[in-house]
């Protein structure tokens, strides 16, 4: 996977989605399971795991995880990092996980559903 720094305009011209006014880092994710690991200048550790289903080699969902938010959920004797998540619609939040019991271990973004036969 090659990551390229691009302007917002260049990203759009090359067929990538644009989000805000800052520079964009663009990349094409190849077939199969792939993980993008990110470390911010502030030390936050994130992963974006592009996952496949059995019937396809192209990613069908993305698991997003913040690894060092300082909270964990114990599941079967294993500590799993958790974090707060917010889903927004223009003008207001749709969902905010702000209680300790509401912390998310992972956020899943579905890219496409497998065909049901």
Kindly report, residue by residue over 71-112, the tens digit of the pLDDT.
777 778 888 777 777 777 777 777 777 656 666 677 777 777
How many other CB atoms are there within 10 angstroms of residue 54's CB atom? 6
- Give me the helices (H) in the chain, please: 8-13
Residue 11 has pLDDT above 90, yes or no: yes
Mapped onto helix, strand or coil, the DSSP state of residue 100 is: helix
Confidence at residue 104, expressed as pLDDT on a 0 to 100 scale? 67
Confidence at residue 41, expressed as pLDDT on a 0 to 100 scale? 94
Residue 5 has pLDDT above 90, yes or no: yes
Confidence at residue 86, expressed as pLDDT on a 0 to 100 scale? 76
């Amino acid at each position: 996977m090659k990551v390229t720094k691009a302007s917002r305009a260049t990203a759009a011209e090359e067929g990538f989605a644009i989000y805000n006014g800052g520079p964009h880092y663009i990349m094409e994710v190849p077939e199969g399971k792939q993980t993008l690991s990110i470390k911010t200048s502030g030390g936050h550790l994130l992963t974006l795991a592009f996952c496949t289903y059995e019937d396809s080699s192209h990613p069908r969902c993305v698991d997003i995880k913040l690894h060092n938010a300082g909270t964990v959920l114990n599941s079967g004797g294993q500590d799993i990092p958790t974090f707060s998540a917010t889903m927004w619609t223009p003008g207001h939040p749709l969902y905010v996980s702000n209680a300790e019991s509401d912390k998310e271990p992972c956020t899943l973004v579905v890219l496409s559903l497998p065909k049901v036969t």
